[in-house]
Amino acid sequence: MTRAEERDPPSAAEKRAKGAVLGRVSQREAVEDFASFVSPGKVAVYRSLGFEAVPGRREGVYVWDLEGRRYVNCRSSGGVFNLGHRPPRVTAALKEALEELDVGDHMLMSELRGRLARRLAELTPGDIRYSFFVPSGGEAVDLAIKLARGYTGRPGVVSAEKGYHGHTGFALSAGEPRFTRHFEPLMPGFSKVPFGDADALERAVGPETAAVVLETIQATAGVIVPPPDYLPRVREICDRAGAVLILDEIQAGLGRTGRLWACEEWNVVPDILVLGKGMSGGVYPMSAVCFRPHLDRFFQEHPFVHLSSFAGSDLGCVCSLAMLEQTTEPGFLEHVREMGARFEQGFADLCRRHPDVTAGWRGRGLMLAFEMARDDFGPMMTYALAQFGVIAVFSDFRPRAMQIMPPLIIKDHEVEEVLEAMDRALTLVGKLAEAGFTPPPVP
């Protein structure tokens, strides 16, 4: 798209005449519809952050709003768009599948479900063998906890402070007050300990503990990487107590860290590995609960204990198989690591250029956090980046930490585009801070 096309996109009337799905109303009308019929509260927050863009065309690492302005997507919806927007291989597989498939019947056997589960058994670490597919990450975490409780016959679940596992029943109970406080009382039997503190975990795990559920790398807390000896000790603690170790890699898995599975960095095999978001290339809702053979004893005794109408959709399985084919190609993970290193080099330069508003960075591969000097700088940076064509958000549980999670297919020149935008955005944040600007609170 040329600069002129970006400034003067086709009108809504022209798009309606061509039968386009997107752009049939103006961006202003789309915002009004969303506020009137979907969520006025969300629109109020977006307006307070100075970001009223409505996504229209999307392709690769880019999203265009309905007025034709282009953004690099460094949010990727937490990893949904690992392969970029509308990845050609996945969308082609889905189009072909629609000629002969529908979602399928979750109660019956499925060729596609079997093929996908077999491929995951080949790729997942250790002796993980079985997979159960569901539409969302929250449901996947729910199912993982149900399996742990059913298998052990115990009620206790230990999770980490500032962890994030979704908004459904068991998953919500393992989360933080930021999302749980309005819905108490929560599920009984849940407790939390500081992430990275193995001694605290050992004190919390006992004979009534069914499971320990952790993110391998805490995403919503600001991309918190555990100490080197933490996950191996967690594995030992669970083994001694007979507790099930659940690692949530909904955001950290599927190549995001430069390894196919983040837990490989610590040579730890969980009893249950939870996957989601990027599972089907951003074109179909798919998540997975992958588990070791001994846990399947519970499902053998109760094979229909968890039912879900759209679980393991045949169409979703086709998309997931195409995603795995691309993600496991030679050179794919090396590319992720190279682009991550390029970002880190750029971050070092940005911190040197803007010492008053920055405080460092951390992460693995393309799961990165760029740390601002103050919590209020995070919302400012979100606003500033949008002005310069980058979508990125501050972390819910650590607002000073900007999450930088672009599609894994990002190229070197696109990394440079993001770094240049960050440089300009940091200058703007500095000016806003000097002027005494206070960003509105985000509920």
Query: Could you read off the pLDDT of 221-247 as tens digits, one per residue?
Result: 999 999 999 999 999 999 999 999 999
Q: How much is the mean pLDDT over the chain?
A: 94
pLDDT beyond 80 at 5: no
347 and 302 share one domain: no
The confidence score (pLDDT) of residue 17 equals 56
150 and 264 share one domain: yes
Domain boundary, last residue among 327, 355, 377: 327
169 and 248 share one domain: yes
112 and 234 share one domain: yes
Nearest in space to 197 (alpha carbons), one of 214, 209, 211? 214
Any domain includes 439:
no
The confidence score (pLDDT) of residue 176 equals 86
Beta strands in 278-417 (DSSP E): 287-291, 358-364, 367-372, 390-391, 393-395, 398-404
Which residues, other chains included, contact 135 with Cβ-Cβ below 8 Å and sequence gap of 6+?
Answer: 285, 286, 287, 308, 310, 311, 313, 316
Any domain includes 424:
yes
211 and 96 share one domain: yes
72 and 61 share one domain: yes
Residue showing tokens 């103006």:
26
412 and 428 share one domain: yes
pLDDT beyond 60 at 295: yes
pLDDT beyond 60 at 219: yes
The confidence score (pLDDT) of residue 259 equals 98
Any domain includes 441:
no
Domain boundary, last residue among 286, 304, 327: 327
Domain boundary, last residue among 327, 356, 377: 327
Any domain includes 440:
no
User: For position 13, which CATH number holds?
Assistant: 3.90.1150.10
pLDDT beyond 90 at 32: yes
Any domain includes 443:
no
Amino acid identity of 167?
A: H
Question: Is pLDDT larger for residue 121 or for residue 48?
Answer: 121
64 and 99 share one domain: no
Which residues, other chains included, contact 81 with Cβ-Cβ below 8 Å and sequence gap of 6+?
Answer: 73, 278, 282, 407
The confidence score (pLDDT) of residue 305 equals 87
The string of pLDDT tens digits covering residues 255-267 is 999 999 999 999 9
Any domain includes 68:
yes
Any domain includes 265:
yes
Task: Return d(Cα 381, Cα 400) in angstroms, integer.
Answer: 9
The confidence score (pLDDT) of residue 111 equals 97
pLDDT beyond 70 at 8: no
Average pLDDT over residues 138-164: 97
Name the domain count of the chain. 2
Question: Is pLDDT larger for residue 5 or for residue 39?
Answer: 39
DSSP run (H or E) holding 245: strand 244-248
Q: Which domain holds residue 22?
A: 3-87+331-434
The confidence score (pLDDT) of residue 439 equals 82
**DSSP three-state, residue 95:** helix
pTM of the predicted structure, to 2 decimals: 0.93
pLDDT cut 90: percent of the chain above it? 84
The confidence score (pLDDT) of residue 425 equals 98
Any domain includes 99:
yes
306 and 351 share one domain: no
145 and 163 share one domain: yes
115 and 82 share one domain: no
323 and 390 share one domain: no
